[in-house]
Amino acid sequence: MDPKLKLSSFEGDLVSNASMHRRLIGHLFYLIISSPDITYAVHKLSQIVSQPRKPHLDVAHHLLQYIKASPGQGISFSTHSSFQLRAFVDADWGACLDMRKSITGFYIFLGDSMISWKAKKQTTVSKSSAEAEYRALALAISELVWISQLLLDFQITKQDPTIMFYDNLTAIHIASIPFFMNELNTLRLIVILCGIR
C-alpha cells in the first residue's frame, strides 16, 4: 500500500456489492498470520468495511496483485540466531483522517527472526506528535518486557541488551525521566536514533 495514501470513510463512490468487499477483507485477515508485510494495508481496509468506497476497493485490488506477484513472501526463522531482541518502532501522528487518531507500529526481532509485530490505531487522540510517539514507545517496551520475561520462563537466561531503533528524540527524553523508568527496570535497553535531521 502506498504509505502516502490516506483513506477516508467519506471520499469516493460507494461500492455496489459491499458484502463481497467484506468477505475479501475477512479472507485477507488469515494471510496476516504468515505475511506481516500486508498487516498495515489489511488493518486500514478493515476499519472501513461498513461502507466501502471505490478507493478502498482499488487498494484491495492492488493488495491482491501484490500477493499474487509475491507468493513466496513470508516469515523465515533462522536456526543459527542469537537471543538478542531488536525492535523497530514508529508512530504516525493523526493518521486516521476520520478520528484524527495516531497509528502505532512496531516490529520485534529475536536475532534475525521477526517474532512480534503490530500496526494499531491508538485509543486516544494525541495532542502532539511527541505524545503519539511516546505512546508507541511505551507499547513497544511493554511488548519487549513481556517477551524477555517469556524467554526467562523458557530458561533462556543469557540475553544481550535489547536494541530499539527509534526516531523521536522528545519521546526518548520523556522516557528517560526516572519517574517513567519503572517498566524498564527488568529490561536492558539500548535506543538508537534513526533519521534525526
Band (29; pLDDT cuts 50, 70, 90): confident
Torsion of CA 169, 171, 172, 173, to 10 degrees: 90
Helix, strand, coil percent content, the chain, rounded in steps of 5: 40, 20, 40
Q: Residue 195 pLDDT > 80, yes or no?
A: no
Gap between the Cα atoms of 35 and 137, Å rounded: 24
Identify the residue whose cell numbers are 542469537: 82
**pLDDT one-digit tens code per residue, 56-106:** 888 888 898 988 888 776 677 777 778 889 999 988 887 776 778 888 889
Task: Decide if 108 contacts 135 (C-beta within 8 A).
Answer: no
- Predicted confidence at residue 194, as pLDDT, reads 54
- Please report which helix (H) or strand (E) contains residue 116, including its range: strand 113-121
Task: Decide if 26 contacts 9 (C-beta within 8 A).
Answer: no
Q: What percent of the chain has pLDDT over 70?
A: 85
Sign of CA dihedral 133, 135, 141, 144: negative
All structural domains of the chain, each given as residue ranges with its CATH number in brackets, are 1-75 (no CATH), 85-193 (3.30.420.10)
Gap between the Cα atoms of 26 and 17, Å rounded: 15
Task: Decide if 143 contacts 187 (C-beta within 8 A).
Answer: no
Gap between the Cα atoms of 49 and 56, Å rounded: 9
Taking every pair of Cα atoms in the chain, the longest distance, rounded to a whole number of angstroms, is: 57
Q: Are strands 189-193 and 103-110 parallel, antiparallel or unpaired?
A: unpaired
